[in-house]
Amino acid sequence: MPEVYRTAFAARQEPDTLVIHCSDPHYQRHIQEFLEQHLGLESYELIAVPGGPHFLTLVDYLPKFSWAGWRWVKFLVDVAKPRRAILIGHQDCRWYRDGRFWQHNANLREHQVQDLERVQAGIAERFPGIAVQLYFARLEGEHVVFESV
């Protein structure tokens, strides 16, 4: 007999926040803890892909990729009508370190912050009225620290 795992289904609640962050497994637990315990989010729309919000900046390098990403965002905005978006980048991101879609910048954090700001501007242009918050996660000793950008 196959193993079955069950959880209680929470009452359907429309989230008022869209979150976009990197899918790096090293940061998943920390990001979820930050969103739920620090920001108090119980439910949120989520897009987690390598490099996080960076996929929305690839208009010059991978226009179809960027177009599809903006379509996903538009779908979630149309369906959930979020009041805010949270964009999260993180230190030592493998997507950024790989650098195959841009000129390698010696300061990856600066590059990531610039991309977060570009996506923030893109959301403001496409979806007026959605407040956008930017965060950057970094290691500090044995802790992950989230700082507002």
Condensed to tens digits (0 to 9), the pLDDT of residues 41-93 reads 988 999 999 989 988 987 666 668 788 999 999 999 999 999 999 999 999 99
Helix and strand tally (H, E) in the chain? 4, 5
How much of the chain, in percent, has pLDDT values that exceed 90? 64
**Mean pLDDT confidence for 15-36:** 95
Q: Is residue 9 part of a domain?
A: no
Query: Rounded CA gap, 105 and 119, in Å?
Result: 19
Q: Give the CA-trace dihedral at 87, 117, 133, 14, to 10 degrees.
A: -50
Q: Is residue 125 part of a domain?
A: yes
| In the predicted structure, residue 99 carries a pLDDT above the cut 90 | no
Range of the domain at 108: 17-148
Which of 52, 56, 60, 59 has its CA nearest to residue 73?
A: 56
Q: Which two tokens stand for residue 105?
A: 């910048």
Q: Which two tokens stand for residue 78?
A: 């149309």
Q: What is the CATH number of the domain that holds 93?
A: 3.40.1050.10
> Beta strands 143-148 and 131-140: pairing type?
antiparallel
Contact status, residue 135 vs residue 149, Cβ threshold 8 Å: yes
Question: How many other C-beta atoms can be found within 10 angstroms of the C-beta atom of residue 111?
Answer: 19
State the maximum Cα–Cα separation within the chain, in Å, rounded to a whole number. Answer: 54
Q: Is residue 88 part of a domain?
A: yes
Q: Is residue 3 part of a domain?
A: no
Q: Which two tokens stand for residue 89?
A: 């980048």
**Mean pLDDT confidence for 128-134:** 97
The residue assigned the tokens 């490099």 is: 51
Q: Is residue 102 part of a domain?
A: yes
Contact status, residue 86 vs residue 18, Cβ threshold 8 Å: yes
In degrees, rounded to 5, the angle at the alpha carbon of residue 113 between the alpha carbons of residues 91 and 95 is: 50
**Mean pLDDT confidence for 8-36:** 90
Q: How many domains does the chain have?
A: 1
